[in-house]
Structure 1
Amino acid sequence: MEQELSGTIGIVVVAAGRGERAGASVEGPKQYRRIGGKPVIWHTLKRFRDWPKSGPIVAVIHPDDRALFDTAVADLGDSHELVVVTGGATRQESVLNGLRALQGRSVDHVMIQDGVRPFVDAGLLDRIATELASGKAAVLPALPVADTIKRGDKTGVVTGTVPRKDLYAAQTPQCFHYETILKAHDRAATDQVSDFTDDASIAEWAGIPVHLVEGSIDNVKLTVQRDIAMADEKLKGSALPDVRTGNGYDVHQLEAGDGVALCGVFIPHDQKLKGHSDADVALHALTDALLATCGAGDIGDHFPPSDMQWKGAPSRIFLEHAAKIVRDAGGTIMNADISLIAEAPKVGPHRQAMREKLAEILEISLDRCSVKATTNETIGFVGRREGIAAIATATVVFRGKD
């Protein structure tokens, strides 16, 4: 049975570097470049904020980057305490500053994470927590080296092949008993030993056994511009589309007349629909369906019956208005479906013309417009030919929404 980790896990996210290998950008150092619409550092911090076992989080940033950082995390939320400290001249100094910022916060363990590893996942964090719960003072996520490793000289000539057995590629977060790694870092600073490439190296130097745990192939460090571009594509490809569906219902009475307007098509008939406008029950229902996809109220909010300018107006005006509201909000109309419920007139002979009219008004292709009809089997007011009802459904995809 797996042990549960007791105590608080502090998080130190190191993001004070300049990232020269990623190239220059108006967005700033690579931790502030946008992937999937958000800065890299935002994604990294959110992974830890979403992990239930996280305690206080320390972000270590460059002294020149405070404005960039504040903008990057403005909408991150406040589910965990976030402490911001400035880094030093080296990564080692920056980590020590972050560790010291956790003093007095009742932290038992600490995870030290690169700010440019935005794909760390909860499964990896849980595996590390399990190892820490077993009493290990240092845990290093790593993956076995899969590529053949060559040794070369300064001229670029291969001088040998390095056996890859027992070789591992280290990742972060590297995790430790808090007081233990803090003492090791303090000692390294006091002794002015500064040639360490990661925190596990300091632990090894201090005589702390470092235990391996399976890393994650997705937990990559973004180093060069290509890494950032690929991360952006990955997040864009995995983002859930913002697809919304709206429903509308309308009904109008029938009275003596010479025909009805349905889906923008006039059909000769011995009755007409009673209403303030042309009473096109189908377009009214579809107007409400479209407005529903962006929370824009209903047809009565935009075209109140009390307003005389709409008396006898063609209902396509209402539908065009709703379609514009959707497009202005960033929506793309994908589909429109109308079901008419009437005993008469017969809709079948006019269905194609109705679909063509919808396609014209909504500026979408004909195959995205559907019109169906059914009777009410002589039941109720529809069955008694006292009125016609319509049910409409619209599907809209919104761009740039979370």
Structure 2
Amino acid sequence: MQRERELSCGVVIVAAGRGERAGASTEGPKQYRRIGGRPVIAWTIDAVSDWGKAGPVVVVIHPDDVTLLDSALAACRLRPDITIVHGGSTRQASVLAGLRALADLGAAYALIQDGVRPFIDPDLLNRCLDKLAAGFNAVLPAIPVTDTLKRAYASGDVLETVSRDRLFAAQTPQCFALPDILKAHEAAAISGRSDFTDDASIAEWAGLPVALVEGSADNVKLTTRQDLAMADKKLNGRTIDVRTGNGYDVHQLVPGDGVTLCGIFLPHDQSLLGHSDADVALHALTDALLATCGAGDIGDHFPPSDNRWKGAASRIFLEHAAGIVRQHGGVVMNADISLIAEAPKIGPHREAMRHALSDMLGISLDRCSVKATTNEKIGFVGRREGIAAIATATVSFPGGFQ
């Protein structure tokens, strides 16, 4: 269907719940449990990012889950630019916080998506968007109820069979003109109502007509421990590709005032000579990451003949390589750098270097290793003529290399 109007369509991903029905876990609430090797919410965020038609993305989390979300974002392929807000005591309050943030970001339409629906697909998202573009201001994806329904007494005995004629199971994303649904949510909050089970029911209460669009049987909400186990089995049935890349680089030492290694400046009586900042450690790691994708080497992407890179910070090169990895569906699992130098001493700066790598790659600190050794005064390193670095990167492609 050709869209009749262009939409500025933002997304609210609701992930502030505690998920009691999924049981306790050291990994945290269910949205942070690992399926297919990655947190549930990382799969959900990637699905929205892969769609490519979303405007601003707001993720609503519990205040206690900041570190958990940081780890989940590190596992996202595209490392999206998102806005994080803290939710309330109910899903309804959390959605309202997300809608307010989305309004501040200038979106005209809102797609409200459960953080624990990781199997949302582009076709469903397109159907929702097309319905909005056709002039509907409230759209609900749903699938017809196929099971026989029973109503029971409090005792548990069957009272009656309920007709499933014209009954549908609601899904997300539930999609709205943002001013309409924000006004409805605000009114519900003022009224004291907090028992709505989804956003479409709030729209109905506020008198907004809600149009149905075909949902997807795969777009399940992961609620119980069994749901998570089935999702993990489904994803692990896909090809998992783990690749290791190696990189080596060396730069000459010349008189100067210090060297930059792993993005950290170390005062010294020499400097490294190079077209960029000559960060030999990041250059080696950049090559290692590129190797996992068969994407050439650092010189192919940032040729020294290009004056744009004269004096450039080498984190630009490393983040570019990590971006290529994510574009191919990869997750950086580990980065290891060995520096070979007589001086300066690396030990006092090792932790700062590891933290810098963690920040540049978007991975946890325990996945970043920096080691150093001398060359026992042998060769060019031993004569303090240069510094060398050897790097190894491990990358996992949970869905196979794309």
State the TM-score, normalized to the length of structure 2. 0.60
How many equivalent pairs are there? 256
Q: Give the CA deviation at 1:104.
A: 2.8
Three-state SS of the structure 2 residue aligned to 1:183 is helix
Query: Which amino acid in 1 is paired with 2:164?
Result: R
Contact 1:5 1:130 (8 Å CA) reproduced = no
Deviates most, 103-112 or 149-158: 103-112
Q: Give the CA deviation at 1:239.
A: 3.2
Q: Give the CA deviation at 1:81.
A: 3.0
Indicate how the Cα distance of structure 1 residues 79 and 62 shifts in structure 2: closer, same or farther if over 3 A, else same: closer
Distance 1:169 1:34 in 2: 26
1:161 matched to which residue of 2?
161
2:151 matched to which residue of 1?
151
Contact 2:43 2:76 (8 Å CA) reproduced = no
1:58 matched to which residue of 2?
58
Identity across the alignment (%):
58
Three-state SS of the structure 1 residue aligned to 2:197 is coil
Distance 1:239 1:209 in 2: 44
Query: Which amino acid in 1 is paired with 2:145?
Result: V
Indicate how the Cα distance of structure 1 residues 79 and 26 shifts in structure 2: closer, same or farther if over 3 A, else same: closer
Per-residue displacement from partner, 1:205-233 (whole Å, max 9, x unpaired)?
00000000000000000000011011011
Indicate how the Cα distance of structure 1 residues 209 and 236 shifts in structure 2: closer, same or farther if over 3 A, else same: same
2:372 matched to which residue of 1?
none
Distance 1:399 1:176 in 2: 39
Q: Give the CA deviation at 1:5.
A: 4.6
2:37 matched to which residue of 1?
37
Distance 1:72 1:79 in 2: 10
Give 1:308-319 correspondences, 5 Å limit. none
2:201 matched to which residue of 1?
201
Per-residue displacement from partner, 1:209-265 (whole Å, max 9, x unpaired)?
000000000000000001101101111112355699xxxxxxxxxxxxxxxxxxxxx
Three-state SS of the structure 1 residue aligned to 2:103 is coil
How large is the RMSD of aligned CA atoms in angstroms?
Answer: 2.5
Query: Which amino acid in 1 is paired with 2:192?
Result: Q
Query: Which amino acid in 2 is paired with 1:100?
Result: R
User: In terms of Rg, which structure is larger?
Assistant: 1
Per-residue displacement from partner, 1:170-207 (whole Å, max 9, x unpaired)?
00000000110000001111111111100000000000
Distance 1:65 1:242 in 2: 29
1:83 matched to which residue of 2?
83
Three-state SS of the structure 2 residue aligned to 1:142 is strand
Distance 2:76 2:243 in 1: 24
Task: Give the gaps of 5 or more residues in structure 1.
Answer: 245-291, 296-328, 331-397
1:19 matched to which residue of 2?
19
Three-state SS of the structure 1 residue aligned to 2:212 is strand
2:183 matched to which residue of 1?
183
Query: Which amino acid in 2 is paired with 1:117?
Result: R
Q: Give the CA deviation at 1:400.
A: 4.8
Query: Which amino acid in 2 is paired with 1:2?
Result: Q
Q: Give the CA deviation at 1:7.
A: 2.5
Give 1:206-355 correspondences, 5 Å limit. 206-239=206-239, 241=241
Contact 2:243 2:395 (8 Å CA) reproduced = no
Task: Give the gaps of 5 or more residues in structure 2.
Answer: 245-290, 295-332, 335-393
Distance 1:166 1:293 in 2: 51
Q: Give the CA deviation at 1:57.
A: 0.5
Three-state SS of the structure 2 residue aligned to 1:239 is coil
Distance 1:5 1:26 in 2: 47
State the TM-score, normalized to the length of structure 1. 0.60
Contact 2:73 2:79 (8 Å CA) reproduced = no
Distance 2:293 2:219 in 1: 37
The answer to which structure, 1 or 2, has the higher relative contact order (CA under 8 A, 6+ apart) is 2
Distance 1:4 1:118 in 2: 29
Indicate how the Cα distance of structure 1 residues 161 and 78 shifts in structure 2: closer, same or farther if over 3 A, else same: same
Indicate how the Cα distance of structure 1 residues 30 and 213 shifts in structure 2: closer, same or farther if over 3 A, else same: same
Indicate how the Cα distance of structure 1 residues 293 and 218 shifts in structure 2: closer, same or farther if over 3 A, else same: closer
Q: Give the CA deviation at 1:75.
A: 4.1
Contact 1:14 1:112 (8 Å CA) reproduced = yes
Indicate how the Cα distance of structure 1 residues 151 and 124 shifts in structure 2: closer, same or farther if over 3 A, else same: same
Contact 2:243 2:396 (8 Å CA) reproduced = no
Per-residue displacement from partner, 1:71-116 (whole Å, max 9, x unpaired)?
1112426664300001001000000000001123221110001100
